[in-house]
């Protein structure tokens, strides 16, 4: 076993590798960029070396600086994690040339599987089923268009050197192909330095099922069963589970054996994942009719590896370290067994109600459910951030991975929903509540899985408000009253309990739920009771307000039980300025307690301009000054958090001026162009 390794990555995977290394008595070296100087993964390792600027090209992709850091600290091996350099053939070769062990497959395997067209050819020779498509070297756009027309729409354009959903577009009709191809190539060259693409038939209602494989230097290779990764948005995974629902033992064996054949075809060593697209010709009710086709092989550890660890009770990072140090695989195929069911939810900084637009900001509140670490824990959290950390625009948007394990899928689903309910994040938009909507949906609960589940179930999954506005306001008012009482002194004249020797004292609040101003009154009755009225006129909701408060769960937030207007709930309210973040077992909601005096001088929002919805880089403009545009027309493309985002016209108008040029970095809220109303 190694004595010291360098982890050439950041965030949760760097922390994850460091934890196993520490358990095995292996020292670790972290590398970090300017933006990550105080990051959690730096503190998790025994040593740390600064390698450059905040952008990945200035730090985590500078393999010369990483090799120098390894040599300077006496590391014997480098663990690449996933992303960045994990599937970089040149980096693997450079490690070997520097006398360092690359904790991953041979460079030749990375090369063979990294170019999707070449991997398809190899899989065909290994008799692994393939999806019909074009995998040739000729990248002439006219030829690619002709091949897509020949295959028949819909087709999928995929970056040949890609992964993680980048450089991938589904195209429904021939006239949309050219624009989608150009966008794919741009994203591919920025992410992978290679704009070659392949084209495949887009399988209708497919499932995405992958097989975890492991090989060693002694000629052994096994599969550690499957993971279903069908629930996706923008071709990126949202929820993963193991084993795959509806998987028959016969199909599991055939897919596992095909995955091992794929790995053996490239003399694979270490952890890898063979990804299959699975067709369901008989629908969800007939899983025995499923057909599978090779999609690609990821020559690294996957983000979703914890669900495999949960059902097998194994530490896959430990297996990586042991295999890389020359040891044989710890178990044979016959010794591997499945126990229970596991699901992983990716908690990301993004706004699901705004096309999953990535978010940046500070984790002012970051509260996690009670959890353990690794293997078969009922609840596990893998993260690389702490409360107070900043989610920056330089890296991907994932905040944490929440993994649950149960004896059955139903038990795992219940645990996941409860754990998500206990996850409180304040400071930036996240997908936590959206994940709860997915987990609670009939389609997911009944395992009606395919890669279009989110799109198909939009009416159920988006814009849900499981907590009523009156109850959320009642919880926010209760939080205010509890805080006031907790901070009052002994002077009776400082009390704000509303007591009067005669008459009824009425206190006024103002709330905003994002759509409308909401007047609120609280009456202190003679018997000590509180009567709350939310709203005005016929739509007003009024009734007694009661609440009980326990000791504060953390600074500024109390565990409350609130009852109002025939509804009640447990709630925790986190205040961020005027915004009250109300978390309950049934869901969460935000309301703004408006200080009318503080906002008396505010002016209306400006019109006639378009601003950047997030920090990022301007990729291109689709218009020029003087162009007339219509509502919904694409105006510009921005790149942030490794993804492209299209900025569309909010209304008909005329472009007055472009304020930036392609390649410029812009801050969130920066005005990109001026648009005059039609």
Catalytic residues: 300
Q: How far is CA 179 from the centre of its chain?
A: 27
Q: What letters, b where the CB count within 10 A reaches 16 and e where it falls short, cover 171-208?
A: beeeeebeebbebbbbbbebbbebbbbbbbbbbebbbb
Distance CA 517, CA 95 (A): 61
CB 386 within 8 A of CB 370: no
CB 203 within 8 A of CB 194: no
Sheet of 155-159, strands arranged across: 133-134, 197-201, 155-159, 168-171
Q: Which residues pair with 530 in a beta bridge?
A: 524, 545
CB 416 within 8 A of CB 436: no
> In Å, what is the CA distance from 47 to each residue of 27, 44, 158?
8, 9, 39
* Residue reference for tokens 């193991």: 242
CB 315 within 8 A of CB 309: yes
- Tallying the residues shown for the chain, one arrives at 678
Which of 141, 268, 114 shows the shortest CA–CA distance to 199?
141
CA dihedral 303, 308, 310, 312 (to 10 degrees): -150
Distance CA 637, CA 645 (A): 6
Non-local (6+) Cβ contacts of 541 within 8 A are 470, 533, 534, 535, 565
With residue 270 as reference, give the H or E element that holds it: strand 270-279
Instruction: Tell me whether residue 456 is exposed, middle or buried, using C-beta atoms within 10 angstroms of its C-beta: 0 to 12, 13 to 18, 19 or more.
Output: middle
Distance CA 204, CA 281 (A): 9
With residue 113 as reference, give the H or E element that holds it: helix 107-114
> In Å, what is the CA distance from 660 to each residue of 29, 55, 266, 506, 628?
40, 20, 47, 53, 19
What tokens does 566 get? 């025939």
Q: Which DSSP string do the residues of 564-624 spell out, in sequence order?
A: ETTEEEEEEEEEETTEEEEEETTEEEEEEE--TTTTTT--PPP-SEEE-SSSEEEEEES--
Distance CA 106, CA 103 (A): 9
* Residue reference for tokens 């599969």: 223
With residue 210 as reference, give the H or E element that holds it: strand 207-215
């Amino acid at each position: 076993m190694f004595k010291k390794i360098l982890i050439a990555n950041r965030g949760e995977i760097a922390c994850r590798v460091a934890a196993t290394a520490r358990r095995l008595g292996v020292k670790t070296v972290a590398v970090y960029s300017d933006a990550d100087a105080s990051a959690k993964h730096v503190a998790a390792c025994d040593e740390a070396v600064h390698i450059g600027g905040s952008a990945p090209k200035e730090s985590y992709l500078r393999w010369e600086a990483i090799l120098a850091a390894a040599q300077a600290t006496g590391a014997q091996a480098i663990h690449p994690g996933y992303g960045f350099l994990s599937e970089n053939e040149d980096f693997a070769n450079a490690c070997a040339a520097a006398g360092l062990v690359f904790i991953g497959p041979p460079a030749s395997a990375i090369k063979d599987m990294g170019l999707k067209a070449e991997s398809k050819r190899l899989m065909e020779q290994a008799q692994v089923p393939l999806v019909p498509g074009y995998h040739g070297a000729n990248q002439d756009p006219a030829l690619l268009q002709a091949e897509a027309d020949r295959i028949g729409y819909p087709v999928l354009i995929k970056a040949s050197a890609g992964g993680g959903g980048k450089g991938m577009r589904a195209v429904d009709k021939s006239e949309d192909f050219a624009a989608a191809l150009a966008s794919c190539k741009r994203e591919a060259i920025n992410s992978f330095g290679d704009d070659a693409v392949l084209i495949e038939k887009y399988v209708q209602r497919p499932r995405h099922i992958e097989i975890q494989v492991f090989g060693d230097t002694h000629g052994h290779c096994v599969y550690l069963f499957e993971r279903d990764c069908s629930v996706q948005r923008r071709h990126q995974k949202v929820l993963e589970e193991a084993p795959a629902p509806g998987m028959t033992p016969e199909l599991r064996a055939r897919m596992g054996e095909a995955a091992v054949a794929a790995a053996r075809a490239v003399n694979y060593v270490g952890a890898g994942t063979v990804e299959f697209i699975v067709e369901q010709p008989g629908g969800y009710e007939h899983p025995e009719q499923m057909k599978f086709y090779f999609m690609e092989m990821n020559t690294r550890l996957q983000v979703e590896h914890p669900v495999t660890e949960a059902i097998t009770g194994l530490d896959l990072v430990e297996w990586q370290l042991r295999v890389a140090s020359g040891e044989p695989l710890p178990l044979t195929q016959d010794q591997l067994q499945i126990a229970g069911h596991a699901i992983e939810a990716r908690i990301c900084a993004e706004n699901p109600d705004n096309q999953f637009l990535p978010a940046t900001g500070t984790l002012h509140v970051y509260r996690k459910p009670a959890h353990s670490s690794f293997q078969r824990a009922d609840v596990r959290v893998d993260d690389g951030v702490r409360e107070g950390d900043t989610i920056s625009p330089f890296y991907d948007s994932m905040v944490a991975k929440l993994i649950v394990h149960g004896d059955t899928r139903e038990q795992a689903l219940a645990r996941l929903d409860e754990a998500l309910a206990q996850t409180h994040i304040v400071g930036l938009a996240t997908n936590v509540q959206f994940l709860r909507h997915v987990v609670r949906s009939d389609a997911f609960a009944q395992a009606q899985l395919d890669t279009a589940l989110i799109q198909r179930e939009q009416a159920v999954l988006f814009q849900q408000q499981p907590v009523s506005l009156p109850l959320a306001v009642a919880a926010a008012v209760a939080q205010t009253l509890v805080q006031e009482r907790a901070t009052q002194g002994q002077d009776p004249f400082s009390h704000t309990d509303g007591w009067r020797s005669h008459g009824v004292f009425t206190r006024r609040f103002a709330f905003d739920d994002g759509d409308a101003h909401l007047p609120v009154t609280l009456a202190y009755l003679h018997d000590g009771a509180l009567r709350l009225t939310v709203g005005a006129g016929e739509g007003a909701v009024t009734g007694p307000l009661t609440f009980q408060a326990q000791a504060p769960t953390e600074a500024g937030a109390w565990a409350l039980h609130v009852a109002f207007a025939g509804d009640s709930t447990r709630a925790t309210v986190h205040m961020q300025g005027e915004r009250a973040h109300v978390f309950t077992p049934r869901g969460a909601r935000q309301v703004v307690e408006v200080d009318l005096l503080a906002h008396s001088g505010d002016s209306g929002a400006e019109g006639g301009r378009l601003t950047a919805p997030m920090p990022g880089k301007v990729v291109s403009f689709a218009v020029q000054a003087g162009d007339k545009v219509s509502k919904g027309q694409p105006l510009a493309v921005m790149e942030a958090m490794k993804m492209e985002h299209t900025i569309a016209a909010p209304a008909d108008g005329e472009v007055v001026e472009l304020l930036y040029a392609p390649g410029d970095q812009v801050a969130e809220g920066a005005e990109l162009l001026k648009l005059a109303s039609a």
